[in-house]
Chains A and B, each alone.
Chain A
Amino acid sequence: EVQLVESGGGLVQPGGSLTLSCAASGFTFSDYWMHWVRQGTEKGLVWVSRINMDGSSTIYADSVKGRFTISRDNARNTLYLQMTSLRVEDTAIYYCVREMNGPTTPDYWGQGTLVTVSS
């Protein structure tokens, strides 16, 4: 069974930093591209970032480019999202998502971790 378990969320002040982790199990982690997607209080889904299988290629939404860094440790089956210069508008549930092999489509989602940026 595919499992993705996020951790690391919490309350942080504007301008602060936070690193999210996602522990993957139930599949060969190194064979899949991975994403982060967030869902804010307005309930809309927003794609954040994507990383390829060996971590050599990444892409970001314009809203987080230069502030967030996606990475992975295939030996630990773990995906990361380093977030710096956090803004109030970054407040959201952050989901770790696997991309299915073949079409560029996210298939399995973790349960999410809540990040709150507030003073």
Chain B
Amino acid sequence: DIQMTQSPSSVSASVGDRVTITCRASQGVSTWLAWYQQRPGKAPKLLIYGTSTLHSGVPSRFSGSGAGVDFTLTISNLQPEDFGSYFCQQTYKFPLTFGGGTKVDIK
């Protein structure tokens, strides 16, 4: 199975800050990488697929980059509604696997 490793596990930032979350795959996944946001008590929501394509309705302050094994999710101009956990997922090979998550707290 492809292991996905996210860092950091948690981050605390202020409104307006730029937040960067990284995800590393144990083997190459090309650009088959998605990012999800999960607010407490809610289901995950798709933010980005194919490494860098924003899902419908997702604000442009979210962006993704990378290829192969190293990927990045960037939230520019952090907003209060961005608190929650973020997960990466490789969609290159089954079983689909997720990173362990990054919790974003708003200072």
Contacts and interface: CB of A to CB of B under 8 A. Distances in A.
**A and B interact physically:** yes
A88 interface: no
Interface residues of B, number: 22
Contacts of A44: 98, 100-101
Contact residues of B: prevailing secondary structure:
loop
Contacts, number: 54
B44 interface: yes
B91 A105 contact: yes
A109 B49 contact: no
Given A47-B97, A59-B94, A62-B95, A106 B46 contact: yes
Interface string B62-97: 000000000000000000000001010101001111
Interface residues on A, range: 20 to 34
Interface in B22-54: 32, 34, 36, 42-46, 49-50
Interface of B: 32, 34, 36, 42-46, 49-50, 55, 85, 87, 89, 91, 94-98, 100-101
